[in-house]
Amino acid sequence: MSRWVLGEFRSPERMVEAARALRASGFLRLDAHTPYPVEDVDAVLGLPASRLPLLALLAGVGGAVGAYVVQWFTQAVDWPLNVGGRPLHSGPAFIPVTFESAVLAAAGAIFLGVIVACGLPRVTHPFLDQEAFRSASIDGFWLAVAVDGSEGVDAAEGALRQFGAAVVLAVEGRR
Amino acid sequence: MTAAVLTRLTEGRRVTWGAAAVGSLGLLATLLGGWAAPREAAHGYLFAFAYWLSLSLGALIILAAFHAARARWPTVLRRSLEIMAASCPLFALLFVPVALAMPHLFPWVALPSGLSGHDLQLLAHKQPYLNVPFFLGRALLYFAVWGAVGVLLFRWSVRQDAEPGITERAVRITLYQRRLASGALPLMVLCLSFASLDWLMSLEPLWQSTVYALTVGCGAVVGALATVALTAAFARGAGQFGALMGPAHFLRLGTLLLGFVCLWAYCGFSQFLLVWIASLPEEVTWYRARLDGGWIAVAVALAVGHFGVPFFLLLLRRVKQHAGALAAVGAWLLLMRALDVYWLVWPALSPGMATFHWTSATAWAGVGGWTVAAWGLLARGGYTVPVRDPFLPHSLRVPRS
Amino acid sequence: MSEPLPLAPVTADPLVVHPLLEERRPDAQLGEALLRPVLTAPGMGWWALVGVCAALSVLLAVAITITFVTGVGTWGNNIPVAWAFGITNFVWWIGIGHAGTLISAILLLFGMKWRNSVNRMAEAMTLFALVCAALFPLLHLGRPWKFYYLVPYPSSLRMWPQFRSPLTWDVVAITTYLTVSVLFWYLGLLPDLATARDTAKQPWRRRVWGLLSLGWRGSARHWRHWRTGYLLLAGLATPLVVSVHTIVSFDFAVAQLPGWHSTVFPPYFVAGAIFSGLAMVLSLLIPARRALHLHAVVTQAHLDALARLLLVSGLFVAYGYVQEHFFGWYSGSPYEMHVMNILRTGPYAPAFWTVFACNVLVPQLFWSARLRTQPVVLWCAALLVNVGMWLERFIIIVSPLSEDFLPSSWRHYAPTWVDLSLLSGTVGLFGLGFLLFLRFLPPVPISEVKELQHELEASEAFAHDVSVRQGGAR
């Protein structure tokens, strides 16, 4: 069982301020839940840049190489067929499929990468049971503090109220 | 915001006169070389002329495109493009040697011996377009269009600088610039398209490719953007445009450069694939001339150096955001542009046999020296950014992403 | 001499007349307004249109059944005109799809804020257009149930697809394009599905949207990966769009047929695709904006921007015509010249001059700033461009085939009722898909419009702040 304390703020600026203050007073396991991406929040929470570009590059190169090898093997090795006198290994003619496959592989990797990195699909997350938390996708800016034990809950609740949270909730559930 | 000041450009006199001197020497040397080897010198000169003109025209096209798109972020680097574009009329003067050397350059002017009956018939068919008076008249028209637009855009921008602030008149000048640029853009592109047919493609008058002009045009824009990246790295004195450009500007400039490098490669590859796969005798001659006998090395160098290397470098955010790194890529691309234009021009003279004649170098230095001197003269005493442009503040605080 | 750096940002763009958002509203209200089409019962108009489109879709089903049962012989195709309506429709539909990707991906890369209000509809249009497009090559196969022969899988036949042919390139290109478009669209939709889940009142709606949104919670960690992934997909989709229509153009340009074998075809086809797609976006957006009362988020600024793009892409297409016709003459080849002549003065002249009027003359209207923001003018022009671009593909495909090298093998083409049913049927299918989309998914990206509103407010506040401070100093 994990515990969190959630606090709702009415504007992204106030939420970022509160996050900064919370981190300064020692609450490090923070997350923000907002209806749209908020500019400075990554820096305040100390989140590193996403590694997806590297994944995309690797998948793209892999897709390209794979497609070229398939074409070379099928046309020049396994089933040599003379088509209008063009060479069996027709490099220029293999470029279009190679390119498309690179894009397909990279796009698939990016999509799956986002899904996996975000821990989705997860439709039963304990936050989603909270009626008040619905505003997190509408007009509320929420901070989530992960805490241990009931004294942690009390401390986080106090801190969130102090930094101006309009609504404060304690949530318990499986991570 | 820091209390920086924008300064007028006062230095650079030595560079300007030095360039002019180098240019005059180079042109003189090319002229002397023309005495000994007229055909080689003519092709060398055409190569140099096409190279430097393409920088100026690329700047004109991209400048007009910025105006037409109402783009705000490039305002800070726009003056450099305006100066390059305003140097167009110089090339009308530099075109005179090309006009004089026409019999050495274009087979349709002085028909070489050994043409088949069919070839002669084709040339006769093209004669209403490919004849000397019409050719010269068209050149006059091209220079009139480019020159008028380039000079006007520059002069309006300088006149705007003299306004006491971002006044109503300053806003009106920006509006005029946008109108002129968007209205003239189709005409300028059409002129560039036919000029590339006249001056480059008709070196081999029996061959044609409809995407040729777009390849040349994309290459020209690559050259212009690379020049901007290079000058921005040098113009980093207090209040000059390179110092005002932040990572966000370099990022966008680099992305644009990447885009045009890709477009150039795309047009070039499309042409190659279609000619290669259809394998028609009247089309493959052009590639035979440019791939056989050592030219293949140049072609491979272009594929790798004009596309592969800059493509991967410009994918990296770190390279694009860093002024010095982007300038290095720009310098490399300017070298590759020279190789590309050389590869377009020279095989017409020596098909299937890679050669180099020293007049190409002297002509390159000659035309280049005069061009750089003209840029220096246009830039001197003025601001390096359009100080009264209503969008300069927007441009200066352009967001990162 | 020196000049102080100008400090005051201009409070508003002195040259831009139309705002991106007509009014500012609290986020909750804005979200609810944008979800209204999904949360309320549809009107009579919607049902009537669905009825028409469903009827056309039934016609499509009939035509497909006849094609399956009897064969491609029920079409008007003949020898030498082996490609006609089927391939024309294919190129037309796939081209329409491209503008959706252009608006959502390329404009995102350029940081064009106005895309935020229209990208969802444009992307939906892309998907339905692609479904219609993919139908035609399959039907054209002759034995469509053997379509899997086009996929390189190790089979007991010991045969492989022939990868030197643009037709196999097409298979890969369209599959990739469809997949990437779906992924891009769904990824963009995730946050809005969460908004729909949280706004809905009925439990079943909450449950359906809850499942579709995969449990999106808008966490900072989610947004970080989502933004990077979305940008990367946009960066991939951009060259993809270009490559897909390039490959479509290769279908023609690799051949040695006069009028087809032209190296400008790749960029010329891409420009034409974007041109026709923008026209289709306008044809759908303008009525949808009116019916769903989206004037506050789809403003005159959007119409103006789309009209400009229409003009620019139209000029590119016109450049393609100039190149084709000039080099048709310059080549000196009698066959090339013949193909261009039958367009200008021969049996295809009426079609050609209609194309010229619709695709070259009509867009010139939008040099006028006033006309760019007139919805009625824009809508009529967009419809004309749609017609013009369909006809353009038709004459590109049919005229060189019908009169190529040997006059003895010349033959002309006339469509049958099956051809016409397939064309109108796909229009119905496309319309049906789009209507259902408007009803069941948020048609305007909610989170992106909220973000835009927040950004606009912040920039206005900053401008106000600085000008007040400056005023005080003076």
B245-257, pLDDT tens digit by residue?
888 889 989 999 9
Chain A nearest-CA distance from C387, in A, is 30
Partners of residue A169 on adjacent β-strands: A6
pLDDT at B401: 44
Binary contact (C240, A100; C-beta < 8 A): yes
First to last CA, chain C: 23
CB contact under 8 A, C4 and B6: yes
What subunits make at least 3 CB pairs under 8 angstroms with C? A, B
Region class of C375: left (phi > 0), else alpha (psi between -120 and 50), else beta: alpha
In this complex, which of B70, B186, B212 lies closest to C315 when CB atoms are compared?
A: B186
CA-to-CA dists, residue C322 to B200, C318, C328, C332, angstroms: 19, 6, 10, 16
What average pLDDT does the structure give for chain B? 90
Q: Is C15 helix (H, G, I), strand (E, B) or coil?
A: coil
DSSP state of C112: -
Question: Nearest Cβ partner of B126 from C5, C265, C330?
Answer: C330
Contact A47 C233 (CB under 8 A): no
- Report which of A62, A159, A74 is spatially closest to residue A103, judged by C-alpha positions: A62
d(CA C346, CA C338): 9
Chain C: closest CA distance from residue A31 (Å): 6
Return phi, psi of residue A167, to 5°.
Answer: -130, 135
Contact (CB<8Å) B278/C323? no
**Contact yes or no for C195 and A94 at CB 8 A:** no
- Residues in chain A with CB shorter than 8 Å from the CB of C223 are 34, 36-38, 41
* pLDDT, mean of residues A44-54: 83
Q: How far is the C-alpha of C281 from the C-alpha of A109, rounded, in Å?
A: 30
Residues contacting residue C27 through CB under 8 Å, at least 6 positions apart: A35, A138, A139, C450, C453
Q: Which amino acid, one-letter code, is at B11?
A: E
Tokens of B200: 């480059």
Q: Which residues pair with B6 in a beta bridge?
A: C3
The three-state (H, E, C) secondary structure of chain B, written as one string: CCCCEEEECCCCHHHHHHHHHHHHHHHHHHHHHHHHCHHHHHHHHHHHHHHHHHHHHHHHHHHHHHHHCCCCHHHHHHHHHHHHHHCHHHHHHHHHHHHHCHHHHCCCCCCCCCCCHHHHHHHHHHCCCCCHHHHHHHHHHHHHHHHHHHHHHHHHHHHHHCCCCCCHHHHHHHHHHHHHHHHHHHHHHHHHHHHHHHHCHHHCCCCCCCCHHHHHHHHHHHHHHHHHHHHHHHCCCCCCHHHHCCHHHHHHHHHHHHHHHHHHHHHHHHHHHHHHHHCCHHHHHHHHHHHCCCHHHHHHHHHHHHHHHHHHHHHCHHHHHCHHHHHHHHHHHHHHHHHHHHHHHHHHCCCCCCCCCHHHHHHHHHHHHHHHHHHHHHHCCCECCCCCCCCHHHHHCCCCC
In B38-97, the residues whose Cβ lies within 8 Å of chain C are: 68, 70
Chain A residues lying within 8 Å of B284, measured CB to CB: none
| Facing residue for B7 by CB, picked from C2, C250, C319 | C2
pLDDT number for residue A110: 93
pTM confidence score: 0.91
Q: Hey, is C38 helix, strand or coil?
A: helix
B276 near A CB under 8 A:
yes
Contact B273 A93 (CB under 8 A): yes
Q: Are A22 and A30 in contact (CB under 8 A)?
A: yes
Q: Which residues of chain C have pLDDT under 50?
A: 1, 7-12, 470-474
- How many angstroms away from the CA of A31 is the closest CA of chain B? 23
Q: Are strands C2-4 and B5-7 parallel, antiparallel or unpaired?
A: antiparallel
Q: CA triplet C182, C188, C190: central angle to 5 degrees? A: 100
Comparing CB atoms, the residue among B209, B278, B396 nearest residue C256 is: B278
Q: What is the pLDDT of residue C11?
A: 44
| % of residues, chain B, pLDDT over 70 | 98
Q: How many angstroms separate the CA atoms of B153 and B156, rounded?
A: 5
Binary contact (C111, B401; C-beta < 8 A): yes
Q: Is B193 on the interface with C (CB under 8 A)?
A: yes
Facing residues of C3 across strands? B6
pLDDT for B180 equals 93
User: If DSSP codes are grouped into helix, strand and coil, which group holds residue A173?
Assistant: strand
Inter-chain Cβ pairs, chain A and chain B, closer than 8 A: 13
How many other CB atoms are found less than 10 A from the CB of residue A158? Answer: 12
Q: Do B277 and A95 touch (CB under 8 A)?
A: no
CA atoms within 13 A on the CB side of B139: 21
Q: A16: nearest CA in chain C?
A: C220
Q: What is the DSSP letter of A49?
A: P
CB contact under 8 A, A36 and C240: no
Residues C170, C247 contacting (CB under 8 angstroms): yes
Between vectors from CA A59 to CA C99 and to CA A115, what angle results, nearest 5°?
A: 75
d(C-alpha C437, C-alpha C42), whole Å: 12
A95–B contact, CB cutoff 8 A? yes
Helix C300-330 vs helix C115-140: crossing angle, to nearest 10: 40
- Does B312 touch chain A if contact means CB atoms closer than 8 Å? no
d(C-alpha C111, C-alpha C132), whole Å? 31
Smallest Cβ–Cβ distance between C199 and the set A71, A75, A138 belongs to: A138
| CB contact B266 to A (< 8 Å) | no
List the single residue in B with minimal CA-CA distance to A91. Answer: B273
Instruction: Collect all residues of chain A within an 8 Å Cβ-Cβ radius of residue C152.
Output: 70, 74
Q: C262 to chain B nearest CA, in Å?
A: 6
> For the packed helices C300-330 and B168-199, what is the interaxial angle rounded to 10 degrees?
20
The neighbour count for residue C410, using CB atoms within 10 Å, is 14
User: How far from C278 is each of B23, C245, C269, C383, CA to CA, in Å?
Assistant: 49, 15, 14, 11
State which residues of chain B have pLDDT below 70.
1-5, 398-401
List, in sequence order, every residue forming a beta bridge with A33; answer none if it has no partner. A142, C219
Cα distances (Å, whole numbers) of residue B40 to B35, B77, B339, B351, C76: 10, 38, 17, 13, 59
Specify the DSSP class assigned to residue A143: E
CA triple C421-C422-C424, angle to 5 deg: 65
Q: How far is CA C454 from CA B327, C67, C184, C447, in A?
A: 36, 54, 24, 11
Report the distance separating Cα C32 and Cα C212, nearest Å: 19
Q: pLDDT averaged over chain A?
A: 85
Contact A12 C454 (CB under 8 A): yes
CA distance B323 to B230: 9
B25 min Cα distance to partner chain C (Å)? 35
Task: Give the list of residues 6+ apart from residue C375 with CB closer than 8 angstroms, or none.
Answer: C286, C289, C290, C303
Q: Which two tokens stand for residue A125?
A: 């997350």
Compute the radius of gyration of chain B from its Cα atoms.
21
pLDDT of residue B5: 65
Flag if A118 and C226 touch (Cβ within 8 Å): yes
> What is the C-alpha to C-alpha distance for residues B94 and B97, in angstroms, rounded to an integer?
7
Distance CA B265, CA B136 (A): 31
Q: Would you give the end-to-end CA distance of chain B in angstroms?
A: 19
Cβ of residue A121 closer than 8 Å to a chain B Cβ = no
3-state secondary structure of A9: strand
Work out the minimum CA distance from B277 to partner chain C, whole angstroms.
6
Complex ipTM value: 0.92
DSSP assigned state of C359: I
Name every chain B residue with its beta carbon within 8 A of the beta carbon of A86. 277, 279
Q: Could you tell me what percentage of chain C is helix, strand and coil, using 3-state DSSP and rounding each to the nearest 5? A: 75, 0, 25
State whether B122 and C332 contact (CB < 8 Å).
yes
What is the side-by-side order of every strand in the sheet holding A167-173? A30-33, A141-147, A2-9, A167-173
What are the pLDDT digits (tens) for B150-174? 999 999 999 988 888 778 888 889 8
- The two tokens of residue A103 are 């894009």
The answer to whether A7 touches A173, Cβ cutoff 8 Å, is no
Which residue among C27, C229, C233 sits closest to A138, beta carbon to beta carbon? C27
- Nearest neighbour of B390 by CB, restricted to C5, C14, C332: C14
pLDDT tens for each residue of A126-167: 887 788 788 888 888 888 888 887 777 777 788 788 877 778
C36-453, superfamily in CATH? Formate dehydrogenase/DMSO reductase domain (1.20.1630.10)
Check: CB of residue B181 under 8 Å from CB of residue B154: no
User: CA–CA separation, B187 vs B145, rounded Å?
Assistant: 8
Within 8 A of B267 by CB-CB distance, chain C residues are 266-267
* Chain C residues touching residue B190 (CB < 8 angstroms): 319, 322
Mutate to test the interface with C, among B274, B279, B380, B388 (most CBs of C within 10 A): B274
pLDDT confidence of residue C467 = 56
- Cα separation of the two ends of chain A: 7
Chains contacting A (3 or more CB pairs within 8 Å): B, C
Number of Cβ pairs < 8 A linking chain A and chain C: 204
Q: Cβ C263–B193 below 8 Å, yes or no? A: no
CA C366/CA C303 separation, integer angstroms: 11
Please check whether residue B287 touches A, CB under 8 A. no
Q: Is A92 on the interface with B (CB under 8 A)?
A: yes
Distance in angstroms (rounded) separating the CA atoms of residues B138 and C342? 29
Distance CA C254, CA C167 (A): 11
Chain B hits for C14, Cβ within 8 Å: 171, 390
Q: Are the beta carbons of B210 and C324 separated by less than 8 Å?
A: yes
Beta strands in C257-393 (DSSP E): none
Residue A91 sits at the chain C interface (C-beta within 8 Å): no
> What distance in Å separates residue B272's CA from the closest CA in chain A?
8
Q: Which residues of C touch A95 (CB under 8 A)?
A: none
